[in-house]
C-alpha cells in the first residue's frame, strides 16, 4: 500500500430529521447568542422559523442578510460586511445552498466569527475549507482552515421542498467532489472509501427523488451521500473538473450546479486514460456502467432528465476558445496534462450537449 497522510475534518455535523431544532443549543455550545442569518432572497421566507427556534432557546438574531448570490461576488460580500458591522453579531448562520454557504464563509474568514451552516441542497460547500469568489469576471479560490464552518446541521426535512431539477443537479455536483477525490494527488484510502460510498448513495437516491420528490428515505440517502462527497472535497485537492466549472461559472455567469452536471462526464472522460484504477472503482458504484464509468455517468444524467448543454444556459459557441484559455491559467492539480486543443474540444462538447466519450 502507498504511503499517505489523512487529516480528519474538524467540523461538527448534526444529521437527521428535525435536527434544525438544535440550532439554539449548538450556538450556546459555541458560547454565542446573537447570530447574523445569511441567505438568498428565497431563503428569507424560512428565516422566521429559525428565529423562532432561537426564541425557544432564549436567543435572538442580530439580523438577516438575504442577498447571497451565485459565485460569491466580492461586491455582495462588501455589502454584507457593511450590514454585519452595523448589527454586530457574534456568529454567522448560513441557510440555503452554495450561494448562502459561500457568503457565510466569506464573512467568517474576514471577521473571525464562527460559522454555523444549514445547507438545504446537496452541493457540499459546507464541508470544505475552500472559498470561491468572483471579481471582475474571474473566479478565484482560496483555501485555509478558517474558512470551514464550525458546525453543519443537515436536516432532511429542509430538503423536501427542494425542486426536483435542483435536487438532481446539486446531487451531481456532490458526486463530482467524490469522483475527483478518487484520483487527487493527495488521495488516501479513507477518503476513497468515503467517496465511493457517497457516489453509490447519490446514484441510487437521485433517480428515486425524480420519481417521488417526497420520498423521505431517498432524501435521507441523498443528503447522507452529499455529506460524504462534500467531505471528500474538504479533504483533497480538486482537479480539471472544478477548474472548468469555476472558469465557466465565474467568467460566463453560468449556474453552478447545472454547470457541474454538464461538465462532469466530459472532464472524467478527459482524465480516464490516466486513471484506470479510479475508473474501475467508479464503475462498481454507478448502476448500468457495464465496466465503463463514462457510460454509467451518461446513463445517470439521462435518468435525472437534466440539461446536458451549456448552450441551454446562454453560453455562446464563440465563448469556447476563451473559456479554454482562461482554464489553462493557474491550473489545478490533474492526473493528465492539460492540452489546449483537447481542452477546447472538451468544452465544445459540454457546450453542445454531446454525450461524453473517451477519444481525446
- pLDDT tens, position by position, 285-302: 999 999 999 999 999 999
Task: Evaluate whether residue 72 is within a structural domain.
Answer: yes
- Residue 7: predicted pLDDT: 75
Q: Do 105 and 231 belong together in one domain?
A: no
Which 3 state secondary structure label does DSSP give 196? helix
Q: How far is CA 97 from CA 27, 100, 102, 158, in A?
A: 20, 6, 9, 11
Q: Do 180 and 116 belong together in one domain?
A: no
Mean pLDDT value of segment 166-178: 97
Mean pLDDT value of segment 143-151: 90
From 119, 144, 159, the end of a domain falls on 159
Q: Do 195 and 103 belong together in one domain?
A: no
pLDDT at 259 over 70: yes
Mean pLDDT value of segment 71-87: 97
Task: Evaluate whether residue 359 is within a structural domain.
Answer: no
Q: Do 202 and 236 belong together in one domain?
A: yes
Task: Evaluate whether residue 303 is within a structural domain.
Answer: yes
Q: Do 175 and 314 belong together in one domain?
A: yes
Q: What is the mean pLDDT of the chain?
A: 95
- Residue 324: predicted pLDDT: 97
Q: Do 48 and 61 belong together in one domain?
A: yes
Task: Give the rounded distance of the alpha carbon of 40 from its chain centre.
Answer: 16
Instruction: State the chain's maximal CA–CA distance in angstroms.
Output: 61
Q: Do 133 and 193 belong together in one domain?
A: no
Q: Could you report the per-residue pLDDT of 240-258, keeping only the tens digit for each?
A: 999 999 999 989 999 999 9
Q: Do 334 and 198 belong together in one domain?
A: yes
Task: Evaluate whether residue 191 is within a structural domain.
Answer: yes
Q: Rounded to an integer, what distance in angstroms lies between the CA atom of residue 278 and that of residue 335?
A: 11
Q: Rounded to an integer, what distance in angstroms lies between the CA atom of residue 309 and that of residue 165?
A: 15
Q: Which domain holds residue 202?
A: 164-352
- How many residues in the chain? 360
Mean pLDDT value of segment 258-267: 98
Q: Could you report the per-residue pLDDT of 5-49, keeping only the tens digit for each?
A: 777 767 899 999 999 999 999 999 999 999 999 999 999 999 999
Q: Rounded to an integer, what distance in angstroms lies between the CA atom of residue 236 and that of residue 2?
A: 16
Mean pLDDT value of segment 134-149: 87
- Residue 1: predicted pLDDT: 65
- Residue 186: predicted pLDDT: 93
Q: Rounded to an integer, what distance in angstroms lies between the CA atom of residue 23 and that of residue 155?
A: 11
From 159, 184, 217, the end of a domain falls on 159
Task: Evaluate whether residue 87 is within a structural domain.
Answer: yes
Q: Do 222 and 325 belong together in one domain?
A: yes
From 159, 186, 203, the end of a domain falls on 159
Question: For the domain that residue 20 is a member of, what is the CATH number?
Answer: 3.40.50.1970
Mean pLDDT value of segment 321-336: 94
- Residue 10: predicted pLDDT: 72
> Strands, DSSP E only, in the chain?
12-15, 35-38, 63-65, 91-96, 115-119, 130-135, 138-143, 151-154
- Residue 2: predicted pLDDT: 74
pLDDT at 335 over 90: yes
Which 3 state secondary structure label does DSSP give 130? strand
Q: How far is CA 250 from CA 13, 71, 259, in A?
A: 30, 6, 11
- Residue 139: predicted pLDDT: 84
Q: Do 178 and 327 belong together in one domain?
A: yes
Question: For the domain that residue 251 is a member of, what is the CATH number?
Answer: 1.20.1090.10
The helix-helix angle for 189-211 and 293-304 (nearest 10°) equals 30
Q: Rounded to an integer, what distance in angstroms lies between the CA atom of residue 151 and that of residue 43?
A: 19
Task: Evaluate whether residue 341 is within a structural domain.
Answer: yes
Q: Do 169 and 146 belong together in one domain?
A: no
Share of the chain above pLDDT 90, in %: 89
When divided into structural domains, the chain yields a total of 2
pLDDT at 54 over 80: yes
Find out whether 70 and 255 touch, Cβ atoms under 8 Å: yes
Q: Could you report the per-residue pLDDT of 182-216, keeping only the tens digit for each?
A: 999 999 999 999 999 999 999 999 999 999 999 99
Q: Could you report the per-residue pLDDT of 93-140, keeping only the tens digit for each?
A: 999 999 999 999 999 999 999 999 999 999 889 999 989 899 988 888
Task: Evaluate whether residue 139 is within a structural domain.
Answer: yes
Task: Evaluate whether residue 6 is within a structural domain.
Answer: no
Q: Do 195 and 344 belong together in one domain?
A: yes
Amino acid at each position: 500500500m502507498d504511503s499517505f497522510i489523512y487529516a480528519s475534518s474538524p467540523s461538527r455535523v448534526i444529521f437527521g430529521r428535525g435536527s434544525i431544532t438544535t440550532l439554539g443549543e449548538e450556538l450556546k455550545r459555541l458560547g454565542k447568542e446573537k447570530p447574523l442569518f445569511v441567505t438568498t432572497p428565497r431563503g428569507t421566507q424560512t428565516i422566521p422559523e429559525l428565529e423562532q427556534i432561537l426564541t425557544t432557546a432564549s436567543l435572538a438574531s442580530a439580523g438577516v442578510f438575504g442577498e447571497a448570490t451565485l459565485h460569491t461576488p466580492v461586491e455582495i460580500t462588501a455589502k454584507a460586511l457593511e450590514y454585519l458591522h452595523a448589527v454586530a453579531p457574534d456568529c454567522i448562520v448560513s441557510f440555503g445552498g452554495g450561494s448562502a454557504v459561500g457568503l457565510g464563509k466569506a464573512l467568517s474568514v474576514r471577521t473571525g466569527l464562527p460559522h454555523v451552516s444549514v445547507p438545504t441542497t446537496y452541493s457540499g460547500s459546507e464541508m470544505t475549507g475552500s472559498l470561491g469568489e468572483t471579481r471582475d469576471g474571474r473566479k478565484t479560490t482560496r483555501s485555509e482552515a478558517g474558512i470551514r464552518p464550525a458546525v453543519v446541521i443537515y436536516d432532511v426535512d429542509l430538503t423536501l421542498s427542494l425542486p426536483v431539477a435542483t435536487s438532481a443537479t446539486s446531487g451531481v455536483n456532490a458526486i463530482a467532489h467524490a469522483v475527483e477525490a478518487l484520483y487527487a494527488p493527495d488521495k488516501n484510502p479513507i477518503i476513497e472509501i468515503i467517496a465511493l460510498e457517497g457516489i453509490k448513495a447519490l446514484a441510487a437516491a437521485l433517480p428515486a427523488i425524480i420519481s417521488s420528490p417526497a420520498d423521505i428515505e431517498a432524501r435521507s440517502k441523498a443528503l447522507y451521500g452529499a455529506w460524504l462527497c462534500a467531505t471528500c472535497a474538504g479533504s483533497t485537492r480538486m482537479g480539471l473538473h472544478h477548474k472548468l466549472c469555476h472558469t465557466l461559472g465565474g467568467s460566463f455567469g453560468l449556474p453552478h450546479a447545472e454547470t457541474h452536471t454538464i461538465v462532469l462526464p466530459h472532464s472524467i472522460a478527459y482524465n480516464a486514460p490516466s486513471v484506470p484504477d479510479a475508473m474501475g472503482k467508479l464503475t462498481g458504484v454507478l448502476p448500468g456502467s457495464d465496466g465503463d464509468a463514462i457510460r454509467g455517468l451518461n446513463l445517470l444524467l439521462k435518468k435525472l432528465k437534466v440539461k446536458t448543454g451549456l448552450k441551454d444556459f446562454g453560453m455562446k459557441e464563440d465563448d469556447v476558445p476563451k473559456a479554454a484559455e482562461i482554464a489553462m491559467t493557474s491550473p489545478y492539480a490533474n492526473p493528465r496534462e492539460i492540452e489546449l486543443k483537447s481542452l477546447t474540444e472538451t468544452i465544445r462538447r459540454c457546450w453542445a450537449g454531446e454525450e461524453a466519450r473517451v477519444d481525446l
